[in-house]
């Protein structure tokens, strides 16, 4: 298939490379020269503009930073495609409202689209094991499936346009709250004289068990692969968690949902970004909780 790929960053670059490995013809564009060079080295045909990338494409995949950028890129590329019924797949994490506006733009121009944000991070993007949460028509999802199967391992169809984004922000709100709760439990345990390994052994086999504890454990030791063992490098950046918690609160306000703990988590990660910057894994928030810096 001839695929245009726009946004060749940490996530998009490896996703495009996996499509090349599966023998698709990928024409790519990114604003940043380093991203373009890395994609070219992986076999992507890199061009100078987004419009040029999509001109002859049968499918267009975007992996961009936010909803405003996705909408401005769609304004440029939707009129620039030359084939009939092109399939647009937006994998960026963006607000539900922008995702629905993007879908309207594509439908009005006579094409098809899905929103397909991902879970699995850079590791999943490189390994082709992402999970896609998808919003759009059944027909569009079926057309996209072979491409999603190259880049990921699991697809969940969550409903109409925008529902993929809705699932993504609800999941990440849950994860942000979970990580703070797990961190507070470890810190309280430490202050009560409890060995972190002993607490882990209890909680990971008890009712407190969750991903933030048993896979991304915020203290070094109990879980070999967790970012806490390497000074919180790699993993899911706390700045991206803050972004997703912000999207969740914007959506909650618009929908009239009472998400007090999601809001508290958003505020805690905003404060943490001021203290620690946006780069370390989001489990590093335990360091600020331990030092009492979030109050």
In this chain, which stretch among 57-65, 183-191, 205-213, 225-233 interacts with ligand NAD, using CB under 6 A? 57-65
Contacts of 222 (CB under 8 A, 6+ apart): 196, 197, 200, 201, 204
Under rule CB under 6 A, residue 183 binds ligand NAD: no
Neighbours of 295 (CB within 10 A): 7
Instruction: Report the site for ligand NAD in 68-127 (rule: CB under 6 A).
Output: 69, 73, 92-93, 118, 121-122
Which residue number has the CB closest to ligand NAD? 9
Please give the helix or strand (H or E) that residue 28 lies within, else none: strand 25-29
Pick between residue 50 and residue 105 the one whose CB is nearest to ligand NAD: 50
- Using CB under 6 A, which of 35, 89, 140, 144 touches ligand NAD? 35
- Using CB under 6 A, which of 3, 27, 60, 64 touches ligand NAD? 64
- Using CB under 6 A, which of 3, 4, 5, 7 touches ligand NAD? 7
* Minimum distance, C-beta of residue 190 to ligand NAD, in the bound complex (Å): 29
Pick between residue 8 and residue 251 the one whose CB is nearest to ligand NAD: 8
User: Which is the catalytic residue, given 2, 21, 168, 279?
Assistant: 168
Measure the CA–CA gap between 13 and 36, rounded to whole angstroms: 9
Under rule CB under 6 A, residue 131 binds ligand NAD: no
Closest to 265 in 3D by CA, of 281, 286, 288, 241: 241
Measure the CA–CA gap between 104 and 122, rounded to whole angstroms: 30
Binding letters toward ligand NAD, positions 239-258, x by CB under 6 A: -x--x---------------
- Using CB under 6 A, which of 10, 178, 229, 293 touches ligand NAD? 10
Pick between residue 15 and residue 187 the one whose CB is nearest to ligand NAD: 15
Q: Is 168 assigned a catalytic role? A: yes
Determine contact, residues 70/12, Cβ cutoff 8 Å.
Answer: no
Q: Is 47 helix (H, G, I), strand (E, B) or coil?
A: coil
In this chain, which stretch among 1-9, 151-159, 179-187, 197-205 interacts with ligand NAD, using CB under 6 A? 1-9
Measure the CA–CA gap between 63 and 115, rounded to whole angstroms: 11
Measure the CA–CA gap between 102 and 150, rounded to whole angstroms: 24
In terms of DSSP H, where are the helices of the chain?
12-21, 33-41, 50-54, 67-77, 96-108, 121-127, 138-151, 163-191, 196-203, 211-214, 238-255, 260-276, 285-290
Provide the binding-site residues for ligand NAD, judged by CB under 6 A.
Answer: 6-12, 29-32, 35, 50, 63-65, 69, 73, 92-93, 118, 121-122, 236, 240, 243
């Amino acid at each position: 298939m001839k695929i245009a790929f726009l946004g060749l960053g940490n996530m998009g670059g490896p996703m495009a490379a996996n499509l090349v490995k599966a023998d698709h013809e990928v024409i790519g564009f990114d604003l940043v020269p380093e991203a373009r060079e890395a994609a070219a080295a992986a076999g992507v045909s890199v061009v100078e503009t987004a419009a040029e990338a999509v001109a002859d494409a049968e499918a267009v995949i975007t992996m961009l930073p936010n909803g405003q950028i996705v909408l401005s890129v769609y304004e440029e590329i939707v009129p620039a495609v030359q084939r009939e019924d092109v399939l647009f797949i937006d994998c960026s994490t963006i607000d539900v409202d922008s995702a629905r506006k993007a879908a309207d733009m594509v439908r009005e121009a006579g094409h098809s689209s899905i929103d397909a944000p991902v879970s699995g991070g850079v590791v999943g993007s490189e390994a082709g094991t992402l999970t896609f949460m998808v919003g759009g028509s059944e027909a569009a999802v079926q057309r996209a499936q072979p491409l999603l199967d190259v880049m990921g391992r699991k697809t969940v169809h969550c409903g109409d346009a925008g529902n993929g984004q809705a699932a993504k922000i609800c999941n990440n709100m849950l994860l942000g709250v979970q990580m703070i709760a797990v961190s507070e439990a470890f810190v309280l345990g430490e202050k009560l004289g409890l060995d972190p390994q002993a607490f882990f052994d209890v909680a990971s086999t008890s009712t407190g068990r969750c991903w933030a504890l048993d896979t991304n454990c915020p203290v070094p030791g109990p879980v070999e692969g967790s970012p806490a063992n390497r000074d919180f490098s790699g993993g899911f950046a706390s700045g991206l968690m803050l972004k997703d918690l912000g999207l969740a609160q914007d959506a909650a306000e618009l929908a009239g949902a009472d998400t007090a703990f999601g809001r508290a988590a958003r505020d805690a990660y905003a404060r943490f970004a001021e203290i620690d910057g946006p780069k370390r894994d989001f489990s590093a928030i335990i360091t600020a909780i331990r030092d009492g810096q979030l109050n």
